[in-house]
């Protein structure tokens, strides 16, 4: 693991000079920077620490016109070196840079009081006290202040030692999701396109296939460098450059993210937690347009608050950010909000749900909003549980959950398997590693049962319903594997009963009204009266004074109960008669090898018309097989 330190502070307070004095590296590489004597672009340096580790340094511009560049650099740092000159003291960009670091979640740092060679001892003491007062109430309250001179070298050894100590204290990054936010892109003669950035998580190796988001362009890593040295593999926490194959400089912009193919996803709306700065001259309006900074990316966005029309200075609230173009992020990433006019930093916060699958604001309850706001401090199980519930009725893949929780792959899989063991999550597609929340699984099961109940109510004479009817009842677009997973759980739990191809609720029984029961008995007796010559339906219905529509469900019930066998429309035979006929046909074929319609008429005493229908029925049952005008026993045709 490596650590990145970033400088912050007002223009001309000596940040670049201090880095040069500490490392021997001049971060101002542009001709314009050298002519004007100010930092315009991000500068990069490094220092070797005791123990052999190398700490990266990002030198950020201090001019107010380059705050967007400062935000891009600060997004990847672990701790800050706040630089304040002893002769000028705290200035506007000192305050804004410290506010930005606070909003970006930086929680550690040290202070360098520069240019001490330009003030006397009394002035230095006053400047030190002013800085302590300024830092009171910030994350740097009580941080060590190191008076230094980049000219004479006074105080530099003590500052180096403090930097090394801060480096040792930084926590290890958790996620193994490889992503490199691009803060610089250029072409190198003989090599092609090169991108640089701070590798915020994960790792990559030469030859890896990568994807550039939001464009989706693909490439592979030709080579990797860190601080001018080639290496085969890059680890999180390092400043690195990647030589990308097949891409031009025009294909890439600052703020693009290099990641492994399919590891991350674009989105046009995020759920975020925002805090408006106390120092902001005014609050943020609901539906208001803002500049949204995420990592090295800046884009236009509109904010929609859940419970208010305005976020006042000092307040924190949940909001939905809608972007002008796609953007890719990960849970717990930090963001900065800047107002359009005047252009200044007004708020910042944390990304809570960075995928388009988030439910609309009106569908998120107050209780869920509270759970969302507590997520940054929640344990892994809670984080997975909340995000899986928010993912909705189709759930989320393990890859999506990596984005939604910022948990490393092994830790995520171990935790969700543990949750599965106690019913906290369910895997409905093992191949695609798709998981669903128990809340949504229960809802899908309830919908399936409700669809079954509706069917029973509308069709009281049917013993059950086909699977397709229940699957459709779960709602449009439910993936087939998920629908069948829900159905299997209902069957295993006994909430649904399977009888052959039909499904029913456990308590469902065919219910007949008195007149329907009488009709059932009458229709059955009519078939019993002439078993080999079933009644003509038109004549029978006219005699009974009923319609075919009234009789049809009764016939379906008699077939379902096994009393009758449907041969074709308007022709039914008693089940007992059909069994006798099957046996006669089988015996005849075993003795004679083949049977004609005439043979069947003589054998059964049934008219030729009905006899042909019965023989065709036996073909469908696969008892017989037609060969020309004759039938043979299926399986014995040779």
pLDDT, one tens digit per residue, over 569-580 is 889 999 999 999
Q: Please tell me the predicted confidence (pLDDT) of residue 191.
A: 78
Q: What is the pLDDT of residue 148?
A: 94
pLDDT band at 64 (very low <50, low <70, confident <90, very high): low
Judge whether residue 460 has pLDDT over 90: no
Mean pLDDT of 7-17: 86
pLDDT band for 456, please (50, 70, 90 cuts): confident
| pLDDT of 553 | 79
Kindly state the tokens that stand for 324.
Answer: 């002008």
How do the residues of the chain divide into helix, strand and coil, expressed in percent and rounded to 5? 35, 25, 35
4-8/54-59 β-pairing: parallel
Beta bridge partners of 335: 294, 349
Residue 217 near residue 196 (C-beta atoms within 8 A): no
**What are the residues whose beta carbons fall under 8 Å from the beta carbon of 614, sequence distance 6 or more?**
567, 573, 581, 600, 604, 606
The mean pLDDT value for 307-319 works out to: 94
Picking from 248-252, 268-272, 536-540, which range would have the lowest pLDDT averaged per residue? 536-540
pLDDT for residue 439 is more than 90: yes
pLDDT of residue 67: 62
Q: Is 231 in a helix, a strand, or coil?
A: strand
pLDDT at residue 492 in the model: 94
Does the pLDDT value for residue 5 go beyond 80?
Answer: yes
User: Is pLDDT above 80 for 317?
Assistant: yes
Q: For position 514, what pLDDT does the model report?
A: 63
pLDDT in tens, 274-288: 999 998 888 999 999
Q: Which residue, chain included where needed, has tokens 């123990």?
A: 51
As a whole number, mean pLDDT of residues 141-164 equals: 93
Nearest-angstrom CA–CA distance, 165 and 173: 18
What is the model's pLDDT at position 157? 93
Does 505 score more than 70 pLDDT? yes
391 pLDDT tier (thresholds 50, 70, 90) = very high
Q: How confident is the model at residue 131 (pLDDT cuts 50, 70, 90)?
A: very high
- Range 85-107 average pLDDT: 89
- Cβ atoms within 10 Å of 598's Cβ, excluding its own: 11
Lowest-confidence region among 9-13, 273-277, 616-620:
9-13
The pLDDT of residue 214: 96
What's the pLDDT band for 632 if we cut at 50, 70, 90?
Answer: very high
Q: Looking at residues 448-477, what average pLDDT do you find?
A: 83
Q: What is the pLDDT of residue 244?
A: 95
pLDDT above 90 as % of the chain: 56
Instruction: Classify burial at 233, counting beta carbons within 10 Å of its beta carbon; exposed 0-12, middle 13-18, buried 19 or more.
Output: exposed
> What per-residue confidence (pLDDT) applies to 31?
45
Mean pLDDT of all residues in 582-589:
93
Residue 68 pLDDT > 80: no
470 contact partners, CB below 8 Å, separation of at least 6: 448, 451, 452, 487, 496, 503
Q: What is the mean predicted confidence (pLDDT) over 42-53?
A: 76
| Residue 214 preceded by cis peptide, ω within 30 | yes
DSSP 245-265: TT--GGG--TT-EEEETTSS-
The single-letter DSSP state of residue 485 is H
With contact defined as beta carbons under 8 Å apart, do 16 and 59 qualify?
Answer: yes
For the segment 475-484, the average pLDDT, to the nearest whole number, is: 88
Q: How far apart are CA 638 and CA 628, in angstroms?
A: 14
């Amino acid at each position: 693991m490596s650590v990145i330190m970033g400088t912050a502070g007002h223009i001309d307070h000596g940040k670049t000079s201090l880095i040069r004095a500490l490392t021997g590296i001049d971060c101002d590489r542009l001709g314009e920077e050298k002519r004007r004597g100010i930092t315009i672009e991000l500068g990069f340096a490094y220092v070797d620490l005791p123990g052999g580790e190398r700490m990266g340094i990002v030198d950020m511009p201090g001019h107010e016109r380059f705050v967007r560049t400062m935000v891009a650099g600060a997004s990847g740092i672990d701790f800050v070196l706040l630089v304040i000159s002893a002769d000028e003291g705290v200035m506007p960009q000192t305050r804004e840079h410290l506010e930005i670091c606070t909003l970006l979640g930086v929680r550690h740092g040290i202070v360098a009081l520069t240019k001490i060679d330009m003030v006397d001892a009394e002035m230095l003491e006053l400047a030190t006290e002013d800085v302590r007062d300024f830092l009171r109430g910030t994350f740097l309250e009580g941080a060590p202040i190191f008076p230094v001179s980049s000219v004479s070298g006074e105080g530099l050894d003590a500052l180096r030692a403090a930097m090394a100590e801060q480096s040792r204290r930084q926590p290890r990054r958790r996620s193994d999701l490889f992503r490199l936010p691009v803060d610089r892109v250029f072409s190198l003669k003989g090599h092609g396109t090169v991108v640089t950035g701070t590798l915020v998580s994960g790792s990559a190796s030469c030859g890896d296939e990568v994807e550039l988001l939001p464009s989706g362009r693909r490439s592979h890593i030709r080579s990797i460098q860190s601080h001018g040295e080639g290496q085969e593999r890059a680890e999180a926490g390092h400043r690195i450059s990647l030589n990308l194959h097949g891409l031009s400089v025009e294909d890439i912009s600052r703020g693009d993210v290099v990641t492994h193919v399919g590891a991350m996803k674009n989105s046009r709306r995020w759920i975020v937690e925002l805090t408006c700065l106390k120092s902001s001259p005014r609050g943020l309006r609901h539906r208001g347009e803002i500049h949204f900074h995420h990592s090295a990316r800046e884009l236009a966005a509109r904010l929609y608050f859940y419970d208010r029309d305005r976020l006042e200075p000092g307040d924190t609230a949940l909001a939905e950010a809608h972007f002008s173009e796609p953007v890719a992020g990960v849970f717990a990433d930090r963001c900065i909000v800047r107002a359009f006019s005047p252009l200044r930093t007004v708020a910042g916060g944390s990304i809570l749900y960075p995928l388009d699958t988030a439910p609309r604001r009106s569908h998120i309850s107050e209780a869920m909003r509270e759970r969302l706001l507590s997520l940054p401090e929640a344990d892994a199980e809670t984080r997975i549980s909340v995000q899986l519930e928010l993912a909705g009725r189709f759930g989320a893949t393990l890859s999506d959950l990596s984005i939604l929780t910022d948990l490393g792959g092994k830790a995520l899989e171990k935790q969700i398997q543990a949750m599965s063991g106690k019913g906290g999550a369910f895997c409905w597609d093992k191949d695609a590693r798709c998981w669903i929340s128990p809340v949504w699984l229960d809802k899908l099961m309830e919908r399936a049962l409700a669809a079954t109940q509706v069917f029973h109510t509308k069709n009281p004479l049917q013993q059950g319903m086909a699977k397709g009817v229940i699957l459709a009842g779960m709602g449009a677009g439910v993936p087939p594997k998920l629908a069948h997973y829900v159905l299997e759980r209902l069957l295993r739990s006994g909430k649904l009963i399977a009888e052959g191809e039909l499904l029913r609720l456990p308590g469902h029984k065919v219910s007949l009204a008195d007149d329907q029961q009488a009709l059932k008995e009458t229709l059955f007796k009519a078939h019993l009266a002439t078993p080999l010559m079933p009644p003509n339906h038109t004549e029978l219905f006219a005699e009974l004074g009923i319609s075919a529509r009234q009789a049809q469900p009764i016939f379906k019930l008699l077939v379902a109960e096994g009393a009758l066998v449907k041969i074709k429309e308007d022709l039914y035979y008693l089940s007992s008669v059909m069994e006798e006929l099957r046996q006669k046909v089988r015996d005849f074929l075993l003795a004679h090898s083949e049977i004609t319609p005439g043979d069947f008429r003589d054998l059964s005493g049934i008219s030729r018309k009905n006899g042909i229908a019965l023989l065709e029925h036996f073909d469908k049952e696969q008892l017989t097989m037609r060969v020309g005008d004759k039938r043979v026993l299926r399986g014995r045709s040779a």
